[in-house]
Structure 1
Amino acid sequence: MSKKVKYYYDTESLAYKKIKPKKGRKFGYAALFLLSSALFGFLCFVILLNTPYFETPKDRLQAREIENLKLRYEILNKKMDQLDEVLVSLEERDNNLYRVYFNSSPIPSEQRKAGFGGVNRYKELEGYDNSELVINTTKRVDMISKQLAIQSKSLDEILTLAKGKEKLLAAIPAIQPVKNEDLKRMASGFGYRNDPFTKIRKFHYGMDFTAKTGTPVYASGDGVVYKADNSMSGYGNLIIIKHGFGYETYYAHLSKYKVRAGQKVKRGDIIGLVGSTGRSEAPHLHYEVHKDGEPINPINFYYGSISAEEYIAISKIANQENQALD
């Protein structure tokens, strides 16, 4: 299709002539078109830069770095999971083996896993796209660091206790105070029993070993004789030995003393003879073990003098709710 030709009427020649466009106007139109196209293209470019559908090389690099950091945090958290398992195992052994062995109180779980109160320690990590991941991971690192510090301190304490192991093992009351061959029977154990005089059920804080008057009574652990007299009501002739590490043992109703107050004794030394003095129904030894001022079941401390079979047998007798002899 041919381009339209425009004419104008020339009054001088009285004829129609073609209108010839000026060359400068063509260039103006072309320049205006190019300028408007450039502006439109720039505007589209700016819009694309601010949409998620267009990424610059720098954006792609930053995105890869963020994903890489996320992966590293995930790996770090998995390693902390493994570290948590090791810590739990170590804490269990510390509380239930090491500290028990050395007669030290276990560290409460609340103390081991206590959080960090007060000021928000992680405020500077807030406000970012991945703040939750970073804050949670940082909290875990801080918590594990605290648990490790507590465990390290505990092991230092255990090490200190271990240095006195020989003294501790010698001090623990670990044998029966009357030999099996000298016993008639183990009459009464630790717990509620019938009182031989009032017939009322009450708590019996030791174990009664029946034997002939004059049967040797042995110190169940190393220590110092604290008392050897009959000043405590109901016990008759009584010996109390302080073993250290919070342990004390009582030997009551004796017919005769073989030691005096202030004397050092070794496990297995004869300290007195069985009798029936004080509040006693028949010749026997009333034996108590105290730890930190509290009476505890003596049957747990005979591992140094009886076999497993003998322990089972004596346990059955001790757990029967029979009548005590004192």
Structure 2
Amino acid sequence: MSKVKYYYDSENLAYKRIKTKKRKKFGYILLFLLSSALFGFLGLVLLINTPFFETPKDKLLTSELENMKLNYKLLNKKVDLMSEVLTAIEDRDNNIYRIYFNTSPITDEERKAGFGGVNRYKSLEGYINSELVMNTTRRIDVLTKELVIQSKSLDEITKLAKQKEKLLAAIPAIQPVKNEDLKRMASGFGYRNDPFTKIRKFHYGMDFTAKSGTPIFATGDGVVLKADNSLSGYGNHIEISHGYGYVTLYAHLSKYNCRKGQKVKRGDIIGYVGSTGRSEAPHLHYEVIQNGKKINPMNFYYGSISAEEYIAISKLANQENQSLD
């Protein structure tokens, strides 16, 4: 039952009942109903967004979303670890491998080129956690590009290493006659007295005295260019091309143990000491030629003698005595 309201009529000195118009009463009722509906709707929205009113589908989606976040977090940790490992490889590549093989390092600009300009991740925008997905995808793309570049670089290093291995095997790095077979190192590279004319002239090789028939060894891998006596004064001699501009010559041999065109390895017996040609006594005259220029063979004995032996031989080779050819 609604309350009855009155007002005081001062003219009649009496209280009179207030009568509400029907239109106004209807407006109040409508306003009340609208307000109730609005508050009810807001309350429903709030309740729906609380965990107490989640549907099974909502719970599944929430679980999948949390699982995705965890997976992306773990993925980013793996990317961090891979990036650290790749950085270490890149550092060794630039500062060890490429320096050793005398090759220019790869710059950071080259390693990370190709990721500016166009927004290649536009299709990933507008989703829940888009920034997380885009950031992870971007990092993986950069890492993939760097891995491709590093892989190509290591292929290049492998190729250089194989070439270096061949170069190291080809360089004339040992004495052509074993130390125990030598009587002495008779004459070195430089000005010496000619044994026949007694005139001081330049001696372009090294003379090793040994008994006739002492084995002579190829000082590096190569191919036999000559095994004949076509050069005046050298008698029976052998020339070996080692590639990379290197040629070695072995003169005054008693006999050969190789033929023209034959491939030889360092340490192979190619002939035997003798005294053929312009020779005063049994010995081996040995020369090293690089790019057409005759150079001191003493610089190439690092593969067969100790430091003490090198010093002793060097002292003998530097004496301006008489050569044997």
TM-score interval, normalised by the smaller of the two chains: 0.5 to 0.7
Which letter maps to 2:198? K
Map of 1:219 onto structure 2: 218
Map of 2:259 onto structure 1: 260
Partner SS, residue 209 of structure 1: strand
Tell me how far apart the structure 1 counterparts of residues 223 and 157 of structure 2 sit (CA, whole Å). 25
Per-residue CA distance 1:175-218 (angstroms, 9 max, x = gap): 00000000000000000000000000100000000000000000
Tell me how far apart the structure 1 counterparts of residues 267 and 302 of structure 2 sit (CA, whole Å). 14
Kindly state the Cα deviation for residue 162 of structure 1 after the two structures are TM-superposed.
4.0
Tell me how far apart the structure 1 counterparts of residues 278 and 209 of structure 2 sit (CA, whole Å). 15
Partner SS, residue 172 of structure 2: coil
Which letter maps to 1:270? I
TM-score, L = length of structure 2: 0.52
2:238 and 2:249 in contact (8 A); partners too: yes
Map of 1:54 onto structure 2: none
Which letter maps to 1:201? R
Identity %: 81
1:63-82 alignment runs, 5 A limit: none
Q: How many residues align?
A: 178
Map of 2:243 onto structure 1: 244
Per-residue CA distance 1:129-163 (angstroms, 9 max, x = gap): xxxxxxxxxxxxxxxxxxxxxxxxxxxx9986544
Which letter maps to 1:172? I
Which letter maps to 2:225? Y
Partner SS, residue 181 of structure 1: helix
Tell me how far apart the structure 2 counterparts of residues 251 and 281 of structure 1 sit (CA, whole Å). 16
Tell me how far apart the structure 1 counterparts of residues 228 and 310 of structure 2 sit (CA, whole Å). 31
Map of 1:183 onto structure 2: 182
Partner SS, residue 255 of structure 1: strand
Distance 1:158 1:197, change over 3 A: farther
Distance 1:198 1:171, change over 3 A: same
Per-residue CA distance 1:75-116 (angstroms, 9 max, x = gap): xxxxxxxxxxxxxxx9xx97xx866xx9xxxxxxxxxxxxxx
Q: Which runs of 5+ in 1 are unaligned?
A: 1-89, 103-156
Tell me how far apart the structure 1 counterparts of residues 210 and 195 of structure 2 sit (CA, whole Å). 18
Tell me how far apart the structure 2 counterparts of residues 316 and 182 of structure 1 sit (CA, whole Å). 19
Distance 1:163 1:314, change over 3 A: same
Map of 2:319 onto structure 1: 320
Partner SS, residue 213 of structure 1: coil
Distance 1:158 1:251, change over 3 A: farther
Map of 1:311 onto structure 2: 310
2:101 and 2:160 in contact (8 A); partners too: no
TM-score, L = length of structure 1: 0.52
Map of 1:229 onto structure 2: 228
Kindly state the Cα deviation for residue 257 of structure 1 after the two structures are TM-superposed.
0.3
Q: Does 1:298 align with 2:297?
A: yes
Q: Which runs of 5+ in 2 are unaligned?
A: 1-94, 104-155
Tell me how far apart the structure 2 counterparts of residues 267 and 289 of structure 1 sit (CA, whole Å). 14
